Amino acid sequence: MTKKAIVICGYLASGKSTFALRLARELNVPYLIKDTFKSAICRDLPIEDRSASSRFSAATFNAMLYVAERLMETGAPVILEGNFVPAGVKPVDEAGELRGLIEKYGYSSLTYKFTGDTAVLYRRFIERENTPGRGRANRIGGEVSQETFDSWCRAMDGFGLGGETVEVDATDFASVDYDRLIRAAMPPRT
């Protein structure tokens, strides 16, 4: 598989990172997971508040784009995972930036959009926030209402790159056919 960008995006606490790791192993493709990338970048940097965390998120996105472009220069496939948003939500147009790279290097794209019942995802999100493995760089750092959480998730709805899109309802992990999702990314058999 060459010249393919697989983007895994969608709602918070919907299982995007776990799926990205599984897909990368199955396909033997390099992957960049935004939260993991952010933790590495911020390991020795102070993050005092949500504002600082947001600035580091923007820097993380830029660093991910840099690495993705280096991979794309070689024609290598790449998996990019994150809570990417359409234009107008953040100061940077993440969808436009990713689309620009895909077009620049003549890549095909496959986007997995993870969504679900935000009441269920909110409960997962709160549980995850309180686990030591979450890392300080990726914690919200305060109380978040379900209404706020829902608005954060809904802000991601308009994200799109063109190309093929696979919708994933991750309300109940047990009902997701992960094998089917992996098959959707595999090159056609000849």
Which domains, and CATH codes, for the chain?
4-185 (3.40.50.300)
Asked if 164 and 109 count as a contact pair (C-beta separation under 8 A), the reply is yes
Q: What is the pLDDT along the chain (190 residues), one digit of tens a residue?
A: 689 999 999 999 999 999 999 999 999 999 998 888 777 776 777 666 666 667 777 888 999 999 999 999 999 999 999 988 888 887 888 999 999 999 999 999 999 999 999 999 999 988 877 766 655 555 455 677 889 889 989 999 989 998 899 999 999 999 999 999 999 998 777 6
Could you tell me how far CA 154 lies from the centroid of its own chain?
15
pLDDT single digits (tens) 57-87: 788 899 999 999 999 999 999 999 998 888 8
pLDDT at 40: 77
Q: What gap in Å lies between CA 10 and CA 16, rounded to an integer? A: 7
- CA pair distance 35, 39, nearest whole angstrom: 6
Give SS3 for 6: strand
